[in-house]
Amino acid sequence: MTSVPFNRPVVRLRPKAEARAIRHGFPWVYSDELVLDRRTGALEPGTLATLEDAERRAMGLVTVNPASRIVARMLDRDAGAALDSAWFTKRLTQALALRERLYPDPYYRLVHAEADGFPGIVIDRFGDTAVIQPNAAWAEQHLDTLVAALCAVTGVTNVVKNGTGRARGLEGLPEETVILRGDVTGPVPVPMNGAVYMADLLGGQKTGLFYDQRDNHAFAARLAKGGRVLDVFSHVGGFALAALAAGAQSALAVDGSEPALVLAEAGAKAMGASDRFQTRQSDAFEALEAMGAEGQTFDLVVCDPPAFAPHRKALDAGLRAYERIARLAAPLVAPGGSLVLCSCSHAADLTQFRAACTRGIGKGRRQGQLIHTGFAGPDHPMLPQLAESGYLKALAYRLDA
């Protein structure tokens, strides 16, 4: 351990705070666990500080935001670490090494926040372009150093800052999307699972594409060969295009966003599957109800909604929404067909989500087998001490005849 800089502020845990959990790898300190005296409360959001336990023993280097419920985030277990170019380069090099071992092409999540040692930072790579989501105050302050190291380590020439989303609001950060380096014009084609996706890196959801579903796309596509597919909450064609690439007879993508469906159509065209692909712009619940009333059925139905339970206060309402989705979707599955239901809600754990889906299928007057449980791909590693980093769940059911 290097010596602690003499001019770095010190923040201290309360006597009853969970110091043991933090020592064992938990990366966050909540506002009720830290001594928030006048000095600490006056620190600028993003300030680097030494974290001490109640006995004044150094625990590591943290970034502090007194305005946030997560008042401190662990950056380094070495309290004397310097947040310089070498620090960023080392961690980015480690992150890149994992992804290059996993994927032959440079299309993946390069940095998955705390799990890659970058609290509150997400970086997705699209060939020679990277999109950064700096969702914590410290990331904004060190953005120039991060971008320089990112370009040096990966060789990307274009960098976009996507400063949108709920997480930035919780940190008191403004929303903005800007090009930090290079140039980005038009949607970027992304090859994945044999399909081609068109990612809008400047105006799309999140960073423009959801890499986390890659493995779940691939599994669902195996169920779709030769069949008719319905992909609800499709975004830019996630499950639908993967199914077409695997030999599905046809696919219908449903989403409320016209721009997303335009990108889905462009992806289908790029992979030569336009003649088997259709879109329907609609509220998902309304579309499911309408197709049920019409008596439509599909061999594979997939529902991949946004987070219905992004926080604990929304949990009950979110679980009811997942149950409703399952209830409306189940009757649309042809006898012996498959139903895939997904959740990206932090607050709803796997057991709760599975129970809600199973109840909904039953209320839809169907029964079946749970044949697969999927999670985010390995470019979205989970920090074992932080349950929130393992947010994605995908359940595949084979419904009765």
* Cβ 308 vs Cβ 339: under 8 Å: no
N residues, the chain: 401
Alpha carbon distance 308, 396 (integer Å): 19
Alpha carbon distance 45, 65 (integer Å): 4
Q: Of the listed 151, 303, 342, 344, which one is catalytic?
A: 344
Which SS3 state, helix, strand or coil, does residue 107 take?
A: strand
Ramachandran angles phi, psi of 286, nearest 5°: -65, -40
Q: Partners of 30 in the beta sheet? A: 70
The amino acid at residue 305 is: P
Ramachandran angles phi, psi of 357, nearest 5°: -65, -45
Active site residue 344: yes
Alpha carbon distance 369, 331 (integer Å): 15
198: enclosing H helix or E strand: strand 195-199
* Cβ 316 vs Cβ 324: under 8 Å: no
Catalytic residues, by residue number, are 344
